[in-house]
Structure 1
Amino acid sequence: MVSPSTTTTTTATWHSLPNEMKLAVIDILEAKDIKSLSEVDQRTYQACVPAQFRRVKLNDFEALEGFLENVPRTYCSYIEELDLCTERRNINSTPVLPRYRSEAVIAMLTASKSLNKLVLRVSGSLDKSVVAPFPFLNNLRNISISNIGDEARAPLSERLVVSIAASTRHLEELSLDRITRSRMHSPELEGVYPCVPLATGDEDIPDLPHLGSELSLPSLLRIPTLRKLTIRDTHLGHDGWTNSPVECRLQFLDIGSCYHADENFNTLCTERIMAAVGRTVDEFSLTAAVSDSLFSEPSATPLQRLRKLHITPFFPVDSVVDTVANLAGSPVENISVQCFEEDVVDVCTALEEFLTLRVERGPEFYNRLQQIDVRVTAADDIIASSEEETEERIAAANRLQDFCRDLRLRSVVGKSVPNPSNKKQEVFAPISFTDARRYHTKGRSMTL
Structure 2
Amino acid sequence: MAATTTTCPWHSLPNEMKLAVVENLSSNDARAFSKVDLRTYKICVSTTFKSVKLNSMGQLQNFLDNVPRTYCQHIQELDLSTQADECSQEITSYHPRAKTDAVISILIASPRLRKLALRIAGSLDKEIITPFAYLPELKDLTITNCSGEEHSPLSERLVVSIAATTRSLETLSLDKITRSKLHAPELEGVYPFVPLVTGDDDIPDHSSLGSELSLPSLLRIPNLKKLIIRDTHLGDHRWATTPVACRLEVLDLGSCYHETEDFNRVCTERIMAAVGPTIDEFSLTTSVSDTVFAKPSVTPLPRLRKLHITPFFPVDSVVDTMSNLAGSPIETLSMQCYEDDVVDVCSALEDFLSLRVERGPEFYDKLTRIDVSVTANDHSFYDAEEHEERIEATKRLQEFCCDLQLASVVGKAVSDPTLVHGPSPLGQFRASGTGLPDCDKKLSALANGRANLLL
Instruction: Identify the structure with the greater helix proportion.
Output: 2
SS at match of 1:278: helix
The superposition leaves residues 197-247 of structure 1 with CA deviations (integer Å, 9 ceiling, x where unpaired) of 001110010101110000000000000000000000000010110100000
Deviation digits for residues 105-147 of structure 1 (CA, Å, limit 9, x no counterpart):
0001111111000000011211100001001100100000011
Pick which of 28-37 and 408-417 moved more.
Answer: 28-37
Superposition TM-score, scaled by structure 2 size? 0.90
Q: C-alpha distance in 1, partners of 2:73/2:131?
A: 14
Conserved 8 A contact 1:417-1:428 = no
Letter in 1 for 2:64: L
Letter in 2 for 1:388: E
CA shift for structure 1 position 367: 0.6
Q: Give the equivalent residue in structure 2 for 1:119.
A: 117
- Alpha-carbon RMSD: 2.0
- Maintained 8 Å contact 2:27/2:50: no
Q: Report whether the alignment pairs 1:243 with 2:231.
A: no
Counterpart-to-counterpart distance in 1, 2:244 and 2:4: 71
Structure 1 residue 83 displacement after superposition = 0.4
Letter in 1 for 2:278: T
CA distance in 1, matches of 2:218, 2:4: 68
Q: Is the 8 A contact 1:102 1:130 kept in 2?
A: yes
Q: Secondary structure at the match of 1:112?
A: coil
Deviation at 1:151, TM superposition (A): 0.8
Deviates more, 1:45-54 or 1:221-230: 45-54
Q: Deviations over 1:9-66 (max 9, x none)?
A: 8532111212222122222234443222111111100111111111110001100000
How far apart are the structure 2 equivalents of 1:413 and 1:98? 46
How far off is 1:94 after superposition?
4.5
Cα separation, partners in 2 of 1:246 and 1:424, compared to 1, 3 Å: closer
Report what 2:77 is aligned to. Answer: 81
Deviations 1:285-317 (A, max 9, x none): 001110100100001100000000000111111
Q: Given the superposition, is the C-alpha separation of residues 237 and 385 from structure 1 closer, same or farther in structure 2, using an over 3 Å criterion?
A: same
Deviation string 1:313-344 (CA, Å, 9 cap, x unpaired) is: 11111111111111000000000001111111
- Show the counterpart of 1:389: 386
* Greater shift in the superposed pair: 165-174 or 25-34: 25-34
Q: How do residues 136-151 of structure 1 correspond to structure 2 at under 5 angstroms?
A: 136-151=134-149
Q: Partner amino acid for 1:15?
A: H
Equivalence for 1:275 = 273
Q: Which of residues 19, 23, 28 in structure 2 aligns to 1:27? A: 23
| 1:367–1:9 distance in 2 versus 1, CA, 3 Å | closer
State the one-letter code of the partner of 1:225.
N
- Which structure ranks higher in relative contact order (CA pairs < 8 Å, sequence separation ≥ 6)? 1
Give SS of 2:277's match: coil
Letter in 1 for 2:254: G
Amino acid at match of 1:185: H
Aligned pair count reads 427
Is the 8 Å Cα contact of residues 115 and 140 (structure 2) preserved in structure 1?
Answer: yes
1:398 to 395, 403, 406: 395
Are 1:42 and 2:35 an aligned pair?
no
Structure 1 spans left out of the alignment, 5+ residues: 1-6, 437-448
Cα shift at 1:150: 1.2
Residue identity in the other structure for 2:425: F
Partner of 2:307: 309
In 2, Cα distance between the equivalents of 1:418 and 1:17? 40
CA contact (8 A) 1:158 1:216 kept: yes
Mean CA deviation greater in 205-214 or 7-16: 7-16
Equivalence map 1:348-367=2 (5 Å): 348-367=346-365
In the aligned structure 2, how far is the partner of 1:122 from the partner of 1:8?
58
Per the alignment, in what secondary structure is the counterpart of residue 142 of structure 2? strand
Q: Structure 1 residues 48-57 or 182-191, which shifts more? A: 48-57
Partner of 2:253: 255
Structure 1 stretch displaced more, 215-224 or 116-125: 116-125
**Contact conserved, 1:279 with 1:303, CA < 8 A, in 2?**
yes
CA distance in 2: counterparts of 1:140 and 1:180, whole angstroms: 24
Q: Which amino acid aligns with 1:51?
A: T
CA distance in 2, matches of 1:27, 1:187: 53
Cα gap change, 1:237 to 1:334, in 2 (>3 Å): same
Q: Residues 55 and 80 of structure 1 are in contact (CA less than 8 Å); yes or no, is this contact kept in structure 2?
A: yes
Taking structure 1 as the reference length, the TM-score comes to 0.92
SS across alignment from 1:108: helix
Write the deviation string for residues 393-448 of structure 1: whole angstroms up to 9, x where unpaired.
111111101001100111111114479xx988974225246668xxxxxxxxxxxx
Identical-residue share of aligned pairs (%): 61
What's 1:107 paired with?
A: 105
Label 1:9 to 1:390 Cα distance change in 2 as closer, same or farther (>3 A).
Answer: closer
CA distance in structure 2 between the aligned counterparts of 1:367 and 1:275, rounded to whole angstroms? 23
Q: CA deviation at 1:76?
A: 0.6
